[in-house]
Amino acid sequence: MVYHLSSTKFRHNIVVKIKTDRNHPEMASVSAIWRTAEFHEREVFELFGVRFTGHPDLRLLILPMDGKENILYEKISKTRLI
């Protein structure tokens, strides 16, 4: 997981990289300190299957709620692209 953080006021940039387990990707949510992260984390959860512990509303955005939470992630991992 990579976060690119920028300060427009101070013109500072920082990149934060976090390693996750490939088979069970999970990390702590940053939505408590960065409100807009809620949407981005839900998108990553839906498309890649990364679970964010402490997220206030971790549910699917677009794909149907049929029990297959990470459809795209499953397709990608089967082709071994990641």
Backbone angles phi, psi at 67, to 5 degrees: 90, -10
CA distance 4 to 46: 20
Cβ(63)–Cβ(46) below 8 Å: yes
Residue 10 has which token pair? 């101070």
pTM for this one?
0.71
For residue 74, give Cα distances in angstroms to 3, 5, 11, 18, 37. Answer: 23, 29, 39, 21, 23
pLDDT tens sequence for the chain (82 residues): 999 989 999 999 999 999 999 888 999 999 999 899 999 999 998 888 899 999 999 988 876 655 555 555 555 555 544 4
Please tell me the predicted confidence (pLDDT) of residue 61: 81
Please tell me the predicted confidence (pLDDT) of residue 47: 81
